């Protein structure tokens, strides 16, 4: 079922750009451009989880760094009879301490805010790991990862276009107006 959802989401997200290319181009040029676009978009779509990790500047944690967390994750994986995920830590905002599960292809990843992890005791870490495993069992992380990746990719592209192509600065009114307008239209 997850694969069907992923394919449907890929087709829906490819539909509008493909339609625009169909209206703008014709003949052999259209076939080449649409082929290159679909291949590049397909590869990027498959690795949206890695894109998210790069953009939030998350770092993979090894067993020796966070021994108790790793032990909890391994115990929970053994109890649930599923593979052990990779664990990444990132530095989030001061006000919102977050954690989430990324899933793409056959692997999955736990992403936890460093401040959240440091503020928790052993019982809370166990509870958090149990919650993340239950969330992974709900089959939502695959779709959530794809949606998060597409949104982050869109926002990053819009910011890059406004900064690099239109040469606007983030503190200018025009930058703020255009970004709010584009995000509202999305």
H or E element: which one contains 49?
Answer: helix 48-55
168-183: per-residue pLDDT in tens?
999 999 999 999 998 8
pLDDT computed for residue 3 by the predictor = 78
32-83: per-residue pLDDT in tens?
999 999 999 999 999 999 999 998 899 998 877 888 998 999 999 998 888 8
Given a contact cutoff of 8 angstroms between Cβ atoms, the answer to whether 101 and 80 are in contact is no
The beta strand positions in the chain, using DSSP E, are: 59-60, 86-90, 99-104, 107-113
pLDDT computed for residue 104 by the predictor = 84
83-136: per-residue pLDDT in tens?
899 999 998 776 677 888 999 887 899 999 999 888 999 999 999 999 999 999
| Adjacency order of strands within the sheet including 59-60 | 59-60, 86-90, 107-113, 99-104
> What's this model's pTM, rounded to 2 decimal places?
0.82
Give the residue among 57, 82, 58, 51 at the shortest CA–CA distance from 145.
Answer: 51
């Amino acid at each position: 079922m997850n694969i069907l959802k992923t394919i449907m989401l890929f087709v829906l997200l490819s539909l509008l750009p493909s339609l625009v290319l169909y209206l703008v181009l014709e003949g052999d040029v259209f076939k080449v451009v649409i082929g290159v676009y679909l291949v590049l978009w397909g590869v990027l779509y498959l690795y949206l989880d890695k894109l998210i990790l790069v953009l939030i500047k998350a770092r993979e944690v090894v067993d020796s760094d966070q021994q108790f967390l790793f032990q909890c994750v391994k115990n929970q994986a053994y109890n649930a009879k599923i593979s052990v995920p990779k664990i990444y830590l990132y530095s989030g905002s001061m006000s919102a301490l977050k954690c989430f599960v990324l899933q793409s292809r056959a692997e999955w990843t736990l992403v936890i805010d460093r401040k959240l992890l440091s503020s928790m005791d052993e019982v809370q870490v166990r509870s958090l790991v149990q919650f993340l495993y239950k969330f992974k069992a709900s089959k939502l992380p695959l779709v959530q990862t794809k949606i998060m990746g597409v949104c982050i990719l869109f926002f990053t592209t819009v910011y890059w276009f406004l900064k690099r192509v239109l040469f606007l600065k983030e503190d200018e009114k025009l930058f703020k107006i255009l970004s709010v307008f584009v995000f509202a239209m999305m």
